[in-house]
Chain A
Amino acid sequence: MKLRQEILNVLEKNARTPMQELAVLLNATEEAVEKEVQAMEEEGIICGYHTIINREAANDDKVSALIEVRVTPQRGMGFDSIAERIYKFPEVDSVYLMSGAYDLMVILTCKNMQEVANFVSMKLSTLDSVLSTATHFIMKRYKDHGTVLAKRYEDTRELISP
């Protein structure tokens, strides 16, 4: 497997892996690993390093919502320009172009329900190309970015076995 892919496999699971450790795990030199990581950051392959937070456990009462948005694509731009107008709002976490019954899926996090309502009615729906929206509030997160939240791994194996 190529070093790049191996680096991504490790960092995807643990972005905090030190370069020195990465080098040991992948049987490469520290310089080589560092160079590849830097190159992937510059090329936009690695776009960021985030922390997965279990908000419930952190007593954070922010609310997240998933909004289905139907829009009119613009000539020459397709969906890109309307997507950009939406993702520039700082409260928006993710924007995806979807196949199926609607066009854009917008996920956002706000302080409370009122703020979400305001965002949808004042900012999103008022955009010219937006035809309709349907807002769904996220009630509980079980798994996020491949990580099961709140449940600690428990080793149930026998302590010693041949």
Chain B
Amino acid sequence: MAIPLNRQVLDMKPSGIRKYFDVIQGMEGAISLGVGEPDFDTPWHIRDEGIYALEKGRTHYTSNAGLMELKEEICAYMKRTQSVSYVPEDVFVTVGGSEAIDLCMRAMLNPGDEVLIPQPSYVSYEPCVVWAQGKAVIIELKEEHDFRLQPEQLLEKITDKTRVLVLPYPNNPTGAIMEQKDLEPIAKICVEKDIYVLSDEIYAELTYEGKHVSIASLPGMKERTVIASGFSKAFAMTGWRLGYAVGPAEIVEQMLKVHQYAIMCAPTMSQYAGIEALRNGEADVAGMREEFNRRRRFLLHAFEEMGLPCFTPYGAFYVFPCIKQFGMSSDAFAMKLLEEEKLALVPGTAFGDCGEGFLRISYAYSLDNLKRAMERLQRFIGKL
């Protein structure tokens, strides 16, 4: 008898970044700009709250949906930043924003339902849709639109089976954002065509030269939007595995059911730390955002100096330069760069086929690190 393995899982191709990981492992003197998490440690007062929770013996389960205090803080946060009013029944606490994405698909989709996924974007949307028996329909975002979703692109892909649109902004890997003026026509279409939205707002706090706008804040959208977000990027809390979902109570209730059977509850000490983060972490976020912004400007300037075209991103901590002029695939470029200059980047294709011709460069690194990396990149380009 064959080993019991699920066909859909077997057929899913593994993440495109794995092989870089294998090459860079054990490479002496390599620099990586390939990381998708902040370089800052979690602010001390937040860590201290986690430690205190452990000391007090807060080592048991919480209710499935998470601590009431934390849910109330999340509601207050949504009110404060997006002027959208939620009640604790609309919220529950997850193991990272990624769990919220998974649960959202599982709770909303029936076999054959279509989900629109703009790409390049985070790697997990497509697998989550497939495993929830849905059909992933890719919308290829274009550099000429600054990787913002265009209403015509959306209309083109809508069929009578379309149920959900994934809105991944601020975007990993491009750093693109959607401003209110970009969201308005999208929202209008969603209302008209009765499409629901999963808005992945994990990078919301990392928006530069302006504030993040959630599509849930637009007319008619709160009742058809599930927001997946969390503490990882805003408060540099990736290892705490703490996120949340906010949305219509009818959907959240079903997501919570899956969460209850699969997970029980998010880590208790992390939840206590999360309360502290939302209550007293605003200054930390502002400080980190300012630092990220300086690095963003530094990289864009460095690209300009070396003649590497790159659209101006205003979010997350990634830049997405175009390497089409060198006539190599992203994958070949990234691998050669790693072998010759020991500089690791992630090829745009790791985030969808339309990432071909681009590289994702993370600036979750110190300025000194970025400077050394840019010297290597410039030298490499000079040789091509």
**Interface membership of B51, Cβ < 8 A:** no
Q: Are B15 and A162 in contact (CB under 8 A)?
A: yes
**Interface membership of B159, Cβ < 8 A:** no
Instruction: For A162, list chain B residues within 8 Å (CB).
Output: 15, 17, 36, 122-124, 172, 346, 350
Closest to B24 in A: A159
Instruction: For A160, list chain B residues within 8 Å (CB).
Output: 17, 20-21, 24, 32, 34-35, 344, 346
**Interface membership of A97, Cβ < 8 A:** no
Which residues between 1 and 41 of chain A lie within 8 Å of chain B, taking CB atoms? 1, 6, 9-10, 21, 24-27
Q: Are B297 and A27 in contact (CB under 8 A)?
A: yes
Quick one: CB contact mask for B288-301 with A, threshold 8 Å, 1 for yes? 00100010011001
Instruction: For B298, list chain A residues within 8 Å (CB).
Output: 21, 24-25
Instruction: Give A30 Cβ to nearest chain B Cβ, in Å.
Output: 12
Interface size class of B (residues with CB under 8 A): 20 to 34
**Interface membership of A128, Cβ < 8 A:** no
**Interface membership of A114, Cβ < 8 A:** no
Closest to A25 in B: B294
Instruction: Give B333 Cβ to nearest chain A Cβ, in Å.
Output: 16
**Complexed CA–CA distance, A157 and B21 (Å):** 12
Instruction: For A161, list chain B residues within 8 Å (CB).
Output: 17, 34-37
Quick one: CB contact mask for B338-366 with A, threshold 8 Å, 1 for yes? 00000010100010000000000000001
Q: Are B32 and A24 in contact (CB under 8 A)?
A: no
Q: Are A155 and B39 in contact (CB under 8 A)?
A: yes
**Interface membership of B25, Cβ < 8 A:** yes
Instruction: For B17, list chain A residues within 8 Å (CB).
Output: 160-162
**Complexed CA–CA distance, A27 and B290 (Å):** 12
Closest to A153 in B: B366
**Complexed CA–CA distance, A10 and B298 (Å):** 13
**Interface membership of A158, Cβ < 8 A:** yes
| Cross-chain pair count, CB within 8 angstroms | 53
Which residues between 206 and 251 of chain B lie within 8 Å of chain A, taking CB atoms? none
A159-B34 CB under 8 A given contacts A24-B297, A24-B298, A24-B301:
yes
**Complexed CA–CA distance, A158 and B22 (Å):** 11
**Complexed CA–CA distance, A6 and B346 (Å):** 31
Instruction: Give A122 Cβ to nearest chain B Cβ, in Å.
Output: 43
Closest to A162 in B: B123
Instruction: For B290, list chain A residues within 8 Å (CB).
Output: 1, 6, 9
Q: Are B294 and A159 in contact (CB under 8 A)?
A: no
Instruction: For A6, list chain B residues within 8 Å (CB).
Output: 290
Instruction: For A10, list chain B residues within 8 Å (CB).
Output: 294
Instruction: For B39, list chain A residues within 8 Å (CB).
Output: 155, 157
**Complexed CA–CA distance, A26 and B24 (Å):** 33
Q: Are B35 and A159 in contact (CB under 8 A)?
A: yes
Closest to B172 in A: A162
Closest to A22 in B: B294
Instruction: For B301, list chain A residues within 8 Å (CB).
Output: 24
**Complexed CA–CA distance, A9 and B293 (Å):** 13
Name the contact of A26 in the complex, choosing from B30, B294, B350 (C-beta under 8 A).
Answer: B294
Q: B30, B124, B301: which has the most chain A beta carbons within 10 Å?
A: B301
Instruction: Give B267 Cβ to nearest chain A Cβ, in Å.
Output: 20
Instruction: For B172, list chain A residues within 8 Å (CB).
Output: 162
Q: Are A159 and B123 in contact (CB under 8 A)?
A: no
Instruction: Give B346 Cβ to nearest chain A Cβ, in Å.
Output: 7
Name the contact of A159 in the complex, choosing from B15, B25, B124, B297 (C-beta under 8 A).
Answer: B25
**Complexed CA–CA distance, A30 and B25 (Å):** 41
**Complexed CA–CA distance, A25 and B301 (Å):** 9
Instruction: For A26, list chain B residues within 8 Å (CB).
Output: 294, 297
Q: A21, A24, A162: which has the most chain B beta carbons within 10 Å?
A: A162
- 19 contacting pairs across A/B (C-beta < 8 A): A10-B294, A21-B298, A25-B294, A25-B297, A25-B367, A26-B297, A155-B39, A157-B39, A159-B344, A160-B17, A160-B21, A160-B344, A160-B346, A161-B35, A161-B36, A161-B37, A162-B122, A162-B346, A162-B350
5 A-B pairs with least C-beta separation? A160-B34, A25-B294, A24-B301, A159-B32, A161-B36
Given A162-B15, A162-B123, 17 other A-B contacts at CB below 8 A?
Answer: A9-B290, A24-B298, A24-B301, A26-B294, A26-B297, A153-B366, A157-B35, A157-B39, A159-B21, A159-B25, A159-B30, A159-B344, A160-B20, A160-B21, A160-B346, A161-B36, A162-B36
